[in-house]
Amino acid sequence: MKVSLFITCVVDSVFPNVGISMTRILQACGCEVSFPSQQTCCGQPAFNSGYTDEARDVGKTLLEAFQDSDVVVSPSGSCVGMIHHYYPQLFADDPHLHQAAIDLANKTYEFSQFMVQKLQMTDLGARFPHRVTYHPSCHGSRLLGVKDEPMQLLRGVREIELVDLPYATDCCGFGGTFAVKMGEISSAMVEEKAANVADTHAEVLVGTDMGCLMNIGGRLRRTNRPIRVMHLAELLLEGMQLGRAVKA
Amino acid sequence: MSTTHGSTNVHDRAQHALTDDFLRQAVHFTTDRLRNKKQAVTGEFGNWEAWRERGQQIRQHTIANLDYYLDQFTRNLEAHGAHVHFAATADEAIHAVREIATAQNAKRVVKSKSMVTEEIHLNHHLEEMGMHVVETDLGEYIIQLAGETPSHIIIPAIHKNREQIRDLFEAAGGERLTTETRDLAAFARRTLRQAYLAADIGITGCNFGIAETGSIALFTNEGNADLVMNMPKTHIVFMGMERILPTMADLEVFAHLLPKSATGQNVITYMSVITGPRRQHETDGARDMHVIILDNGRSRQLGDPDFQAVLHCIRCGACLNVCPVYRQIGGHAYGSVYPGPIGAVLSPLLNNGDQYQDLPYASSLCGACYEACPVKIPLHDMLVRERQRFVASGRVKPTEKAAFQAFRQLFGKAGRYQTTIRIARRLQFPIAQDGYIRAKIGPLAGWTMSRDFPVLPKRTFRELWPELTRKGNGRG
């Protein structure tokens, strides 16, 4: 299957290893992976702050970047949620762009969604002998409706010890510009989330959105709670490498 | 602790609330209990999503045809002998009450819980008219004694503990009390009973007005509304103009949706439906009944595709109980009588809503409110639309506007975006330590006040991409 990566600005510039991990997994699953280089950002920071024109201009770049792609896969439920949930209305005034937005929404998948729904793969032969807790990001689970897919992939990992995160579905306080604009409220929210993560005594916190993980990870680091923070793709790839090493 | 902080913006009021550990603990405790009970009761009930769908359909249909149903409701009310007053503004509603009270030469008022009377600050106006007002909902009674406003739509005294309540009751009654629930409730019961007996007017809200019968449906857990509307000679009902349901069959749906969503109760303790004042052959009920129907900005939302759905709200408070922002700052920080997600959406839309234009920013847009809403109001989407409206009004900070114009320019094309990242990578050097930034500089300070920010690595994904395709089995 031919797959185009929508890597997102956060993963591209801050967490390239997440993109690398996702690429390697897709390649291992037999996908022919491409990276359309005109892409930048989905425009969500501007859109959520009420700057519609600014968001539209940035979003247009994305529509163009993926116009020839068959399938688009992205390591962020939030950015894919933006495309699915808001792009059709964002481009409602221009029939041509509106159609392009609907087309993009129809072919764009969040990483775990793609693995489970499209490739129907939940067992990647991974092995990860650690205590792990999972934070379901709000936009991926609520806006996009990807709730069980990450857990299906995690349950397919051997020797993993999955522990429930208390108040898992409560927002971590990221919210894009909210984290800066309402820094104090956001700080109180992320402290509660970080404390809940620490209470699980997990060695690893895993998630599907680097915005949230950057937020929780930043708080864990600031408060000297030594918990490793990983994107699902990073955990799976590391697990696959470990699984292969054991077999060999 | 202080609960009424006078700042004019939500950011400062929130900051103040965040220092109040007692408040936050109380809010955590109660909202946890409510949402857990809701989850248990809706799970047991089953098909909750189908019930939400049904609730949404009924509210959508009602509000889309509100003129028809309001007319039907009014005609039926009048046929039963009730007087109906339409109030376009808060002032008109106050004026209507004044006329009724003057005609009755009324001095004493008892009230059951009503958010719409809070919205127009009715108690304040009644007291200015020289009337003695007693709130009879236990929570409302407590905050009335404290001289405060509700901090939750359903649990008005959510921010008070039993020691504070004992102190308030002791001051009001001049007697010594313990902090035992039985003792405190007995005091309230003794005091309130006297108030019911002495009152000239009873004022209630209205959970639902039933158009086909002209009935008023009231939900309480204390039975106080039944005493308020039956014991005094005159009963005044206050309702927002959107609180209509077409039929009794629709009320059945909401008799499930409201208590389950609000408090996780399977059924409400007292649901009373009254149709008109006391009839000749009847032995109880108020002799006069007035229904004041308030607009106050609601009708402006009719026909507005962005905001009409806010009129679907049934004031259950479920969105407050799941809101991670409300959880941290409580209700008073919103500054409006309507707090939480629904308050952040509704307050700027009502008359005099201008002072609440910043409330839509007090949200991380997590969508928990939408998921909890029994009539599926897309509150998270509406918060974004209110931000859009605020930006369009041109009142945003010039620095913020400039930042998003820069975003448009720099992130609009891949080449400019790459250059931006390269420059940022250089600029971060002086402030980076061990791969992270802690400096509280510029807009970054909102982040770094509580968390580390990772530095941009040496190479972006797109710079690494050529290597990935060489080593992997895919092609770029």
What does the pLDDT look like over A41-72, one tens digit per residue? 999 999 999 999 999 999 999 999 999 999 99
* B474 — pLDDT class (breaks 50, 70, 90): very low
Residue A126, domain member (yes or no):
no
Residue B283, φ and ψ in degrees, nearest 5:
-105, -10
Contact B446 A183 (CB under 8 A): yes
The residue out of A75, A97, A118 marking a domain boundary is: A118
Which residue on chain B is closest to A172 by alpha carbon?
Answer: B324
Which residue on chain B is closest to A170 by alpha carbon?
Answer: B324
CB of B18 within 8 Å of a chain A CB? The answer is yes
Contact B459 A16 (CB under 8 A): yes
Q: How far is B155 from chain A (nearest CA, A)?
A: 21
The residue out of A83, A118, A153 marking a domain boundary is: A118
Residue bearing tokens 């049934």? B314
Q: How far is B160 from chain A (nearest CA, A)?
A: 21
Contact B444 A180 (CB under 8 A): yes
pLDDT at B219: 97
Return d(Cα A3, Cα B282) in angstroms, integer: 76
User: What are the chain A neighbours of B18 within 8 Å (beta carbons)?
Assistant: 184-185, 188
Q: How far is B54 from chain A (nearest CA, A)?
A: 20
Residue B135, φ and ψ in degrees, nearest 5:
-80, 135
Does B472 score more than 60 pLDDT?
no
The residue out of A71, A93, A118 marking a domain boundary is: A118
In this structure, the answer to whether residues A140 and A114 fall within a common structural domain is no
Q: What is the mean pLDDT of chain A?
A: 97
Residue A124, domain member (yes or no):
no
**What DSSP element (H or E) covers B91?**
helix B90-104
Residue bearing tokens 């529509």? A63
Does B5 score more than 90 pLDDT?
no
DSSP letter (8 states) at residue A141: I
Percent of chain B past pLDDT 70, that is, above it, reads 97
B81-136: pLDDT as tens digits: 999 999 999 999 999 999 999 999 999 999 999 999 999 999 999 999 999 999 99
Residue bearing tokens 């913020």? B400
B172-200: pLDDT as tens digits: 999 999 999 999 999 999 999 999 999 99
Q: Which residues 6+ apart lie within 8 Å of B415 measured at CB?
A: none
Return d(Cα A21, Cα A124) in angstroms, integer: 13
DSSP letter (8 states) at residue A127: B
Q: Which residues 6+ apart lie within 8 Å of B221 measured at CB?
A: B263, B265, B268, B269, B270
In this structure, the answer to whether residues A76 and A178 fall within a common structural domain is no
Q: Which amino acid is at A194?
A: A
DSSP letter (8 states) at residue B181: H
B213-227: pLDDT as tens digits: 999 999 999 999 999
pLDDT at B8: 87
Return d(Cα B369, Cα B382) in angstroms, integer: 11
Return d(Cα B405, Cα B423) in angstroms, integer: 18
Which residue on chain A is closest to B463 by alpha carbon?
Answer: A12
**Exposure class string for B113-148: b at 16+ Cβ within 10 A, else e:** bbbbbbbbebbebbeeeebebbbbbbbbbbbbbbeb
Does B204 score more than 90 pLDDT?
yes
In this structure, the answer to whether residues A95 and A142 fall within a common structural domain is no
Residue B315, φ and ψ in degrees, nearest 5:
55, 50
Which two three-digit tokens encode residue B109? 């008022």
* B36 — pLDDT class (breaks 50, 70, 90): very high
Question: CB pairs below 8 Å between A and B: how many?
Answer: 213
What CATH number should be reported for the domain holding residue A239?
A: 3.40.50
Which two three-digit tokens encode residue A14? 């801050």
CB of B305 within 8 Å of a chain A CB? The answer is no
Pairing of strands B244-245, B208-210: parallel
Which two three-digit tokens encode residue B274? 């009254």
In this structure, the answer to whether residues A147 and A195 fall within a common structural domain is yes
- Among positive and negative, which fits the CA dihedral B30, B31, B36, B41? positive
**Dihedral, CA of residue A171, residue A172, residue A173 and residue A177, to nearest 10:** -100
Interface of B with A in 123-182 (CB under 8 A): none
Bridge partners, residue B245, by sequence: B210
Q: Which residues 6+ apart lie within 8 Å of B63 measured at CB?
A: B242, B302, B308, B309, B311, B312
Contact B468 A54 (CB under 8 A): no
CA terminus-to-terminus distance, chain A: 28
Calculate helix-pair angle for B248-263, B21-45, nearest 10 degrees. 130
Q: How far is A19 from chain B (nearest CA, A)?
A: 7
Kindly state the greatest CA–CA separation across chain B.
93
A24-42: pLDDT as tens digits: 999 999 999 999 999 999 9
A141-165: pLDDT as tens digits: 999 999 999 999 999 999 999 999 9
Residue A145, domain member (yes or no):
yes
Query: Of A149, A154, A174, nearest to A164 (Cα)?
Result: A154
In this structure, the answer to whether residues A88 and A163 fall within a common structural domain is no
Three-class secondary structure of residue B123 per DSSP: helix
Q: Which amino acid is at B180?
A: E
Interface of B with A in 350-389 (CB under 8 A): 361-368, 370-371, 384, 386-389
Return d(Cα B468, Cα B471) in angstroms, integer: 5
Judged on CB neighbours under 10 Å (0-12, 13-18, 19+), A107 is middle
Cα–Cα distances in Å, from A160 out to A124, A132, A204, B215, B325? 13, 7, 11, 59, 33
Three-class secondary structure of residue A2 per DSSP: strand
Contact B364 A14 (CB under 8 A): no
Contact B411 A12 (CB under 8 A): no
Contact A171 B366 (CB under 8 A): yes
Rounded to an integer, what is the distance from CA A46 to the centroid of its chain? Answer: 19
B385-401: pLDDT as tens digits: 999 999 999 999 999 99
CB of B25 within 8 Å of a chain A CB? The answer is no
Total number of domains constituting chain A:
2
Residue bearing tokens 């847009």? B365
A208-230: pLDDT as tens digits: 999 999 999 999 999 999 999 99
Q: How far is A204 from chain B (nearest CA, A)?
A: 18
Residues of the domain holding A13: 2-118
In this structure, the answer to whether residues A83 and A171 fall within a common structural domain is no
pLDDT at A248: 62
Higher-confidence position of B280 and B64: B64
User: What are the chain A neighbours of B474 within 8 Å (beta carbons)?
Assistant: 23, 26-27, 31-34
A84-138: pLDDT as tens digits: 999 999 999 999 999 999 999 999 999 999 999 999 999 999 999 999 999 999 9
Contact A57 B462 (CB under 8 A): no
Which residue on chain A is closest to B397 by alpha carbon?
Answer: A181
Residues in chain A: 248
* B3 — pLDDT class (breaks 50, 70, 90): very low
User: What are the chain A neighbours of B14 within 8 Å (beta carbons)?
Assistant: 182, 184-185
In this structure, the answer to whether residues A184 and A238 fall within a common structural domain is yes
Q: How far is A124 from chain B (nearest CA, A)?
A: 17
Q: Are B38 and B261 in contact (CB under 8 A)?
A: yes
* B294 — pLDDT class (breaks 50, 70, 90): very high
Query: Of B56, B107, B111, nearest to B231 (Cα)?
Result: B111
Pairing of strands B453-454, B436-437: antiparallel
Return d(Cα B332, Cα B143) in angstroms, integer: 12
Give the global pTM: 0.95
Q: How far is B401 from chain A (nearest CA, A)?
A: 8
Q: What is the mean pLDDT of chain B?
A: 95
In this structure, the answer to whether residues A136 and A110 fall within a common structural domain is no
Query: Of A129, A116, A146, nearest to A207 (Cα)?
Result: A146
pLDDT at B2: 37
pLDDT at B442: 85
In this structure, the answer to whether residues A11 and A81 fall within a common structural domain is yes
Does B4 score more than 60 pLDDT?
no
In this structure, the answer to whether residues A54 and A12 fall within a common structural domain is yes
Which residue on chain A is closest to B10 by alpha carbon?
Answer: A182
Residue A123, domain member (yes or no):
no
Which residue on chain A is closest to B476 by alpha carbon?
Answer: A34
Domains of chain B: 10-300 (3.40.50.10420), 401-471 (no CATH)
Query: Of B301, B136, B100, nearest to B223 (Cα)?
Result: B136
Residue A17, domain member (yes or no):
yes
Residues in chain B: 476
In this structure, the answer to whether residues A151 and A99 fall within a common structural domain is no
Residue A154, domain member (yes or no):
yes
Residue A27, domain member (yes or no):
yes
Which residue on chain B is closest to A180 by alpha carbon?
Answer: B446
Residue A125, domain member (yes or no):
no
Which two three-digit tokens encode residue B339? 């707090």
- Among positive and negative, which fits the CA dihedral B451, B455, B456, B459? negative
In this structure, the answer to whether residues A110 and A149 fall within a common structural domain is no
B272-288: pLDDT as tens digits: 999 999 999 999 899 99
